[in-house]
Structure 1
Amino acid sequence: MTTRRGFLAGLMASTLTSQASWAGAGSPAFLSAGKDAGGAFLLAGLSDTGGILFRHPLPGRGHAAAAHPVRPEAVAFARRPGRFADVIDCRSGAAIARLEPPAGHHFYGHGTFSPDGRRLFTTENDYENARGVIGVWDAAGGYRRITAFSSGGIGPHDMALRRDAPGMVVANGGIETHPDSGRAKLNLADMRPNLSYLSLEGELQAQMELPQELRLNSIRHLAVRADGTVGFAMQWQGDPGEQLPAAGLHRPGTAPRLMAEDDVRVLNLNGYGGSAAFSADGSRIGVTSPRGGVLQIMDTVSGALLREIRMRDVCGLAPSAGGFTASTGTGRLITVSDTGQTVLHRADLAWDNHLIPLI
């Protein structure tokens, strides 16, 4: 798949070179929400060695972010059940716009741009009607809200563009919530998580549900491999003592394949898949757990758990040249390779759940 930097190289050879590009923002490698020592929330752009290239203050706790495929703009999303999404000029960290969902909706912390960058899609809870929604915003026209369509389920959390076909994949966690009840889970008796494959216009193209015995395994976080395989991380809502997989792979038209399902070490995740990422070559998938303080790496062919690395409060995860880069709530950015792990940078910040790669 064409990378953002590869795409920009093509633009540099075209008549579009006069437009602002990510190079003008210092070519950040990652985005991450965080909290400083004084308790203030922010979104930061990081270099590939972990240095902070820009920061933007947020009105509340952030979660994930989305990067525009061409312009040096990022959108920082509020943590559920937040109602802000800040559009940021990454050259300066200045605000471009603040998005708010319609009355009766809140954001779920994730979103993505269309491949051409003209639309922004956001996962939302239409909590008065107990349904998941994808909001659509005109990124080419001042981020005006255009429309919305069904996410294909309840509790849409993460979303990503497909790589094997036009469209998107949405992780519908299956959990009904309402702001009046805080973060309480209102439908555990009949929750049904799924992966929904949608066109960019909202047509449901395919859907995957977990087997009945796993219906309490909320599908929350996604990674998409170059061949279109979707990796997903789950969060178990049942008996905490049960040994259940926290990661799986899926392709439309096939049954889900669960990783390390017979390995007792999945208990070390404490039922919580915080982030997922494929290695750069796609041969491995990593899943983090801040509750368990571990990063687990599985083989995508055999499904075996290859390595388990202890890291205090680890959650953010992205591919890197030698394996993976992880971020922690203790302010560390760490690379993990076959030869060991290296702390790239220590910041006086608590990094939040996700490390969004830009390369």
Structure 2
Amino acid sequence: MTTRRTFLASLLAASATPAVGWAAVGDPTYLAAAKLANGSYMLAGLREDGSTAFSVPLPARGHAASAHPKRAEAVGFARRPGTYALVVDCRDGEVLHRLAPPADRQFNGHGTFSPDGSLLYTVEQAVEDSAGHIGIWDAAAGYARIGEFASHGVGPHDLRVMPDHQTLVIANGGIQTDKWDRAKLNTDTMRPNLVYTALDGTLLESRELPDFHQNSIRHLALRDDGLVGFAMQWEGEPGMAPPLLALHRRGEELVICEAPLGDELGMDGYAGSVAFSGDGSEIAITSPRGGRIHRFSDSGRFLGAVSRADVCGIASHAGGYMASDGLGGVLLVGPEGARPLARAEAAWDNHLVPIAV
């Protein structure tokens, strides 16, 4: 029987228990990896105003991260090809788990949680032939590896859980790399593809590019209604100006988003990140090589360019987009252009990852 004394004691204990949700680390909206001025590396949480909510150390350069939807816990992925993925308590930087792929695999820089946070999916490729795999980890059981399935392509890089919570979309870059020095072995014959699978890996749909097969599909953006945007990186002859963004909805044809020739040339064949705007009416890609952001409507019409040196990270924001650059800048991008929000003494890496709670 619960007495008044034990009841009061339980209330006191509950009130003294520290919060474990994202509010406990300042309510960040995004995760971003960065290199600090002293040469060390960190994973940070950023708020919508660009301020830093928290930062925790990383042992080496990070690429992207995945935020647990319920706990102030993140998985930081090494720059590809990587052999580490760290599960970090964002309150104090404690490394809770160190994940490693099977001996014949490498991580490829990205992963994502299931919507309820029970599972983590990691993007991997075989060391020998770059065949793609998706690893499955049980977050409730200490991130035990419980399965895997084929990505149905070569050189996968990014993946997302679709809004139906029953489907994965996977970006297979198509590039086979040498197991020792990452040299690209098949750029003449590469076949990148966008793949949809069931959660058990069953192939549901696969789309290849009708032209420009040397455009490696790299990063994904996903709208709430299931519209997918993907950013590409050109692996063909230098000096060409292929489109670097496409849209797709399951069961339909790809929509290739083209900018005017001069603008495409300015991207230098490289789109680093992609995101839908906060209201979903448009989509943008970044190019750190070209120092540009390209905006398109959700039907693929080019809306304009924004210049920003070494810009790469981009994510949805209530005011349009939040973007980050290698000079420590965080900016708000909208129809009227870009304006600075904050600057850190750090070089932000490739991605701004939204925290979905």
Larger radius of gyration: 2
Percent identity of the aligned residues?
A: 51
* 1:226 CA drift (Å): 1.1
Contact kept in structure 2, 1:208 and 1:252, CA below 8 Å: no
Name the CA distance, whole Å, in 2 between partners of 1:56 and 1:72. Answer: 12
Name the CA distance, whole Å, in 1 between partners of 2:298 and 2:244. Answer: 14
Contact kept in structure 2, 1:249 and 1:257, CA below 8 Å: yes
2:253 is aligned, of 235, 252, 255, to: 255
Runs of at least 5 residues in structure 1 that lack an aligned partner in the other structure: 1-16
- Give the corresponding residue for 2:26: 26
- Give the corresponding residue for 1:44: 44
One-letter amino acid matched to 1:358 = I
Name the CA distance, whole Å, in 1 between partners of 2:129 and 2:237. Answer: 29
* Superposition pairs of residues 146-185 of structure 1, within 5 angstroms: 146-164=146-164, 166-180=166-180, 182-185=181-184
* 1:144 CA drift (Å): 1.0
* Superposition pairs of residues 83-94 of structure 1, within 5 angstroms: 83-94=83-94
SS at match of 1:31: strand
Name the CA distance, whole Å, in 1 between partners of 2:165 and 2:266. Answer: 36
SS at match of 1:214: coil
Contact kept in structure 2, 1:244 and 1:261, CA below 8 Å: no
SS at match of 1:267: helix
* 2:257 is aligned with 1:271: no
* 2:216 is aligned with 1:218: yes
SS at match of 2:270: coil
- Give the corresponding residue for 1:308: 305
Per the normalisation by structure 1, the TM-score is: 0.91
- Between 1:116-125 and 1:126-135, the stretch displaced more is 126-135
Name the count of aligned residue pairs: 340
* 1:49 CA drift (Å): 1.9
Contact kept in structure 1, 2:115 and 2:165, CA below 8 Å: no
One-letter amino acid matched to 1:161 = V
CA offset digits 1:236-258 (Å, max 9, x no partner):
11122222100010012211101
Name the CA distance, whole Å, in 1 between partners of 2:230 and 2:129. Answer: 26
Contact kept in structure 2, 1:45 and 1:55, CA below 8 Å: yes
SS at match of 1:191: coil
Stretches (4+) displaced over 6 A? none
One-letter amino acid matched to 2:225 = D
Name the CA distance, whole Å, in 2 between partners of 1:306 and 1:120. Answer: 36
Residue 138 to residue 348, structure 1, CA distance change in 2 (3 Å): same
* Superposition pairs of residues 1-359 of structure 1, within 5 angstroms: 20-164=20-164, 166-180=166-180, 182-211=181-210, 213-260=211-258, 263-301=261-299, 303-358=300-355
- Between 1:257-266 and 1:167-176, the stretch displaced more is 257-266
Runs of at least 5 residues in structure 2 that lack an aligned partner in the other structure: 1-16
Name the CA distance, whole Å, in 1 between partners of 2:94 and 2:24. Answer: 14
Contact kept in structure 2, 1:119 and 1:137, CA below 8 Å: yes
* 1:194 CA drift (Å): 0.4
Per the normalisation by structure 2, the TM-score is: 0.92
Name the CA distance, whole Å, in 2 between partners of 1:262 and 1:37. Answer: 38
Name the CA distance, whole Å, in 2 between partners of 1:341 and 1:243. Answer: 25
